[in-house]
Amino acid sequence: METEDYRVNGFIVSATVAGLKKGGVPDMALIVSEKESAAAGVFTTNKVKAAPVLLSKKHIRNGKARAIVANAGNANACTGEGGLQDAIFTAELVARGLGIESDQVLVASTGVIGQRLKMSLMEPAVEALVKGLSPDGLPQAAKAIMTTDSFPKISRFEGRAGGTPYRIVGFAKGAGMIMPNMATMLCFVLSDIRISAGDMETELRTCVDATFNRITVDGDTSTNDMVLMLASGFAENDPLTEYDRATFSEGLKSVLWDLSKMIVRDGEGATKLVSVEVKNAFSLADAGIAARTVANSSLVKTAIYGQDPNWGRILAALGRANIEMKEDRVNIWIDDVQIVSGGLGLGAAQENKAKEIMKGKEFALVIDLGQGAFDDRVLTCDLTHEYISINADYRS
Amino acid sequence: METEDYRVNGFIVSATVAGLKKGGVPDMALIVSEKESAAAGVFTTNKVKAAPVLLSKKHIRNGKARAIVANAGNANACTGEGGLQDAIFTAELVARGLGIESDQVLVASTGVIGQRLKMSLMEPAVEALVKGLSPDGLPQAAKAIMTTDSFPKISRFEGRAGGTPYRIVGFAKGAGMIMPNMATMLCFVLSDIRISAGDMETELRTCVDATFNRITVDGDTSTNDMVLMLASGFAENDPLTEYDRATFSEGLKSVLWDLSKMIVRDGEGATKLVSVEVKNAFSLADAGIAARTVANSSLVKTAIYGQDPNWGRILAALGRANIEMKEDRVNIWIDDVQIVSGGLGLGAAQENKAKEIMKGKEFALVIDLGQGAFDDRVLTCDLTHEYISINADYRS
């Protein structure tokens, strides 16, 4: 798509090279709302919260914001009181550059944990960011927030509220430390819709739960995860009807689900995107636990990498998931090829068909527990040699 | 040690090539008690239980046994009613060969899940096992039960009860699907001590909880885990005093801990053995959860492989463990080198010292939570390229 396809009325965006990432690549981004936006956020559930998470939670409390400043290369996590001061100072720099209040600035960071930000780099970087602001800057910003991501992740939705067109554009970064319960590390969503901050937060929470909280790369929840959404109101739509609200919610969910899939597809070292779909669980909680346990099992994930329909590992994972289950009620499919019926393998012919499907890049692993009427699904990827290489050498 | 060092009075042992493993290597073992032994067992907590687990739990209920027959290469798990009949038939073959009752025979299996045992191989194999029985057969049996293990695991303790000498010899196999809560796949312990089955079971449960339930390779609990213990009474000691009982318990624990360490050291693809020690947790449960969460984190395990004291990943794992914790109270050491104080890194000089320690094959990762007075520890290993290779190609 062209860069203008990612314009959102009321917002200007920029990116720059601050010097926080290696190799002189863009590593800072700035999003500015021309007027005050409605703002909502969803933040990591990890008890260790990075400084920018603590600060942005505070600044977003009133449901309003003017800017988001984000950096990659340094998470500003586990940096104590000094790190919090660094985040505050970054917000102040941005506020000064834009002539706004610093509590109108949200801050986000991603990268290595436990190192202080080089604040000497921040002043020139923020200056460059403010100078570079443009309606067409979003694709560059999506690149700037990448760490071990291999491609930028952007998604768009075009909707109408009472006949008035509006747009939702989201971008995210993921790759590692990805696990259900606020798992994106960073995602920013912009819209020109006119909506109250409270309504937007309700929709954002629902949509995040259905999307980002349903993906896993390695079962590790980050200290920095956040989804921030700003709505400028520039679409000047009338107050949302129930129908408009539903359309908006579906549109937002489609954008976040799209980004979720991109994050798993780009999981560190991943070669395959697998939807683990659990059906007919005893309870909704059981469905979620079963899907997450299978989706996080190292043995299942290595079997996926090996294109091996090793259903014994799936049954073993279900058996330790602490859910209601009876081995002889379980049916398992790879896409539409059934490989287990009543807890027993259906033999080599079916497994060979399943292997063919597993050679592809995307497929579903469908588990029917036969215990009740509850379904859930989680997106996962395979566990590969490349994951080990990336994570054994991350800081060196 | 010489093979006679692994003799236990009252027991004869053998191994043979049944043809269940590839490459014509020994894959079946038989342990026979010359008279009826006191017997105790601890079995997997996985809800999917292999046929031999179901059968042995039933046969051991009366606290007595005459024989254990074990095979590698096929787990006889997820094989339904037919698999249970195969396990029953195996016990009957052994009973017939030895002239005993089939409910005096315990059965254990390890290997691939979801395939039926080739019963045509069983009859000649059991015949060979019965013929080969010898007081010196234990080291061969330890080799026969190996799957992806790279070395046999045997440990011995010499004790005295009221002046009468006795011996405990245990052997085990591990390698993959290893995780706290009954984690060995298979372990057999023989002793010539005279002890009641009830007392032995109490001690066995306590010791398993302190040893095998404190190790993890990949967070996956097997469907086949079992620890079986037989005591022949041939030592003819007097009834155990409280002191004797304590000595026996310590001896048993030392044997099981020794085997636990061997299992982790030989974890699939593992190059390092790491003791994750959590101190001063708010509760005993918190201490255990914290140790297991860190010990199972893919990001921590890849950092160990990379010899990188990446303490940010340790803090992030603690933060998602759902325990009482405050970032600024956490101290972390690699052996005796402190790298984190009050939640903050102590800098490059300390990290470089820690890196030197991490180049070794064994070290401790010590975490002080500063929340209370409870400690726990879990043994883990690193997550390596070799783990991926072994598990992506396991069935091919």
**Rounded to an integer, what distance in angstroms lies between the CA atom of residue B260 and that of residue B188?**
13
Contact A305 B392 (CB under 8 A): yes
Cβ of B220 within 8 Å of Cβ of A299? The answer is yes
A383 touches chain B (CB under 8 A): yes
pTM, two decimal places: 0.79
Output the pLDDT for position A111: 85
Q: What gap in Å lies between CA B368 and CA B282, rounded to an integer?
A: 11
Q: Which of B313, B341, B369, B393 to mutate to test the interface with A (most CBs of A within 10 A)?
A: B313
Nearest to B70 by CA among B135, B144, B150: B144
- Which residue of chain B has the CA closest to A394? B303
In chain B, residues with a C-beta closer than 8 Å to the C-beta of A45 are 320
CB atoms within 10 A of CB B242: 7
A341 forms beta bridges with A344
Catalytically annotated residue among B90, B148, B184, B293: B184
Instruction: Specify the pLDDT at position B312.
Output: 87
In whole angstroms, what is the distance from residue A277 CA to residue A378 CA?
7
The residues facing A275 across adjacent strands are: A364, A379
From chain A, pick out residues whose CB is under 8 angstroms from the CB of B218.
298-299
The CATH code of the domain at B3-265 is 3.60.70.12
Helix (H) or strand (E) holding A70: strand A64-74
SS3 call for A32 = strand
Q: Which two tokens stand for residue B344?
A: 């903050």
What pLDDT tens digit does each residue of chain A (396 aa) get? 667 789 999 999 999 999 998 889 999 999 999 999 999 998 887 888 889 999 999 999 999 999 999 999 888 988 899 999 999 999 999 999 999 999 999 999 988 888 899 999 999 999 999 999 999 999 999 999 988 788 899 999 999 998 899 999 999 887 655 443 433 568 899 999 999 999 999 999 898 888 888 877 666 667 778 889 999 999 999 999 999 999 999 999 999 888 888 888 887 788 999 999 999 999 999 999 999 999 988 889 999 999 999 998 899 889 888 899 999 999 999 999 999 999 999 999 999 999 999 999 999 999 999 999 999 998 888 888 887 887 776 554
Q: What angle do CA B287, B260, B323 make, to 5 degrees?
A: 15
Determine whether the interchain pair A80/B343 forms a contact, defined as Cβ–Cβ distance below 8 Å: yes
- The minimal CB distance from A388 to the residues B222, B345, B388 is found for B388
* DSSP-based three-state secondary structure for B102: helix
DSSP class of residue A81 equals: H
Closest partner residue to A316 (CB to CB) among B223, B312, B327 is B223
Tell me which residues of chain B, numbers 23 to 62, contact chain A at a CB-CB cutoff of 8 Å.
Answer: 45-49
Runs of H (alpha helix) within chain A? 51-59, 80-98, 119-132, 138-144, 197-210, 242-265, 284-296, 298-305, 311-319, 348-358, 385-392
CA distance A315 to chain B (A): 7
CB atoms within 10 A of CB B120: 9
B113 to chain A, any CB pair closer than 8 A? The answer is: yes
**Contact (CB<8Å) A220/B393:** no
Cα dihedral: A138, A139, A143, A146 (round 10) = 60
Mean pLDDT of B304-330: 91
The answer for residues whose C-beta is within 8 angstroms of residue B106's C-beta and 6 or more apart is B39, B41, B56, B59, B60, B65, B67, B68, B69, B91, B228
Q: Which one of A220, A299, A342 has the shortest CB-CB distance to B391?
A: A299
- Decide if pLDDT at B181 tops 50: no
Please name which of B4, B63, B10, B58 lies closest in space to residue B34, comparing C-alpha atoms.
B10
- Please give the pLDDT value at position B268: 75
CB distance B359 to B334 below 8 Å: no
Pairing of strands B186-191, B226-231: parallel
Site from B43, B48, B224 to mutate, A interface, most A CB atoms within 10 angstroms: B48
pLDDT at A394: 57
Q: Which of residues 304-363 of B touch A (CB under 8 A)?
A: 305-306, 308, 310-313, 315-320, 325, 327-328, 342-345
Which pair of tokens denotes residue B113?
Answer: 């899940």
DSSP character at residue A216 = -
Spot the catalytic one: A79, A184, A221, A380. A184
- B191-202 confidence digits (pLDDT tens): 999 999 999 999
B294 at A interface, C-beta within 8 A: no
* Closest listed residue to residue B178, CA positions, set B130, B221, B231: B221
Residue scoring higher pLDDT (B395 or A15): A15
What confidence tens digit (pLDDT) does each residue in B221-265 have? 677 788 899 999 999 999 999 999 999 999 999 998 888 888 888
Backbone angles phi, psi at A61, to 5 degrees: -55, -35
d(CA B31, CA A301): 37
Q: How far apart are CA A94 and CA A99, in angstroms?
A: 8
Specify the amino acid at residue B246. Answer: A
Chain A residue nearest residue B294, CA to CA: A220
Domain A273-392 listed as CATH 3.10.20.340: yes
Q: Choose among A312, A387, A388: nearest Cβ to B114.
A: A312
Residue A331 to residue A349: CA distance in whole angstroms:
17
Residue B175: per-residue pLDDT: 64
Do residue A394 and residue B310 have CB atoms under 8 angstroms apart? yes
Q: Please, what is the Cα angle at A218 between A216 and A224, to 5 degrees? A: 80
Mutate to test the interface with B, among A45, A47, A213, A332 (most CBs of B within 10 A): A47
Both tokens assigned to B230: 């037989």
Average pLDDT value for residue range B141-165: 90
pLDDT at residue B375, rounded to an integer: 93
pLDDT, position A395: 56
Both tokens assigned to A65: 């914001």
> Cβ of B257: how many Cβ atoms within 10 Å?
18
- Chain B positions in Cβ-Cβ contact with residue A392 (cut-off 8 Å): 302-303, 305-306, 308, 384
Tokens representing A235 are 């679409």
Domain edges within chain B: 3-265, 273-392
Residue A217: burial class (beta carbons within 10 Å; 0-12, 13-18, 19+): buried
**Of A114, A311, A385, which has the smallest distance from its Cβ to B312's Cβ?**
A114
Annotation marks residue A247 as catalytic: no
d(CA B367, CA B280): 9
Judge whether residue B8 has pLDDT over 90: yes
Residues 6+ apart with CB under 8 A from B97: B126, B127, B129, B130
Model confidence at B355: pLDDT above 80: yes
pLDDT in tens, B255-265: 988 888 888 88
Nearest to B213 by CA among B354, B379, B80, B67: B379
